[in-house]
Amino acid sequence: MTAQLNPRGDVAVLVPAAGAGVRLGAGGPKALRLLGGEPLLVHAVRRVAAARSVRTIVVAAPPLDVEAVTALLAPWLP
C-alpha cells in the first residue's frame, strides 16, 4: 500500500480560540496574547494556512471576541 498526500483543498481545520487564558495568566483571551509581537492565533492560523492540504480554516471564538478575532485575522482572509 502506498500513502498519498492530500492535494490542496482536501482538509478542513478547526482552530480553537475560546480559551480565557486563566492558567496562562493572560488577563484576556489566550488567542490574543502576544508572542514575538503577534497574537498566538495569528501564529496558529499562519501555520495551518501554509499546509498544502488545507482548504478551510474555522476559528472557534467566544461571541464577545468574534469582532476582535475577525479584525485580527482580516489580513489572512481571502
Q: What is the pTM assigned to this prediction? A: 0.75
Q: Residue 7 gets which letter from DSSP? A: P
**Per residue of the chain (78 residues), what is the pLDDT tens digit?**
455 555 567 899 999 998 777 777 767 778 888 889 988 999 999 999 899 899 999 999 999 889 989 998 988 666
| Rounded CA separation 69/59 (Å) | 9
Element (H, E) at 55: strand 54-60
Q: Which residues contact 51 (CB under 8 A, 6 or more apart)?
A: 11, 13
Residue 10 near residue 55, CB atoms below 8 Å: yes
Length reported for the chain: 78
Q: What angle do CA 69, 33, 56 make, to 5 degrees?
A: 40
